Amino acid sequence: MAPADLRQGRGYADPCKLYGAVYLERDPRRRGFCSATVYVEQQEAFANLVVYQEANKLFADKPGLWYITDARDFADYSVLVTDNRSFADFGIFYTKVRSFAGCRKD
């Protein structure tokens, strides 16, 4: 599957490849348009991806570095945020330290 297909919501995105401009979808009816469904973990130990929110889109260039955008059409990825862990493809944890961001290999 090509990366462009993942960006347009036609498949499941690997958490280790998610970076750049990300739109956080909250409406479960739009799940089909999202690259992945994520659950926000309360503890870093349970997350597959540790996310640092960049203030500038140009610096969101590695896995876990996200520039959260309000414009769905200009996002590299759209992810559905769910409150139910069992519906999620993987878990994320927000960090305040940029160097902690990244993918956890299982």
Any idea of the CA torsion for 104, 42, 3, 1, to the nearest 10 degrees?
80
pLDDT at residue 5, rounded to an integer: 45
DSSP H helical ranges for 1-106: 3-7
**Sign of the C-alpha dihedral, residues 80, 83, 89, 94?**
positive
For 76-106, the pLDDT digits (tens) are 999 999 999 999 999 999 999 999 999 987 6
Residues 27-63, buried b or exposed e (16+ Cβ, 10 A)? eeeeeeebbbbbbbbeeeeebbbbbbebeebeebeeb
* Residue 106 pLDDT: 61
Q: Which two tokens stand for residue 63?
A: 């896995």
Mean pLDDT, consecutive 10-residue segments, the chain of 106 residues? 46 83 96 94 95 96 96 94 94 96 84
Q: Note the residue count of the chain.
A: 106
Look at residue 6 in the predicted model and tell me its pLDDT: 46
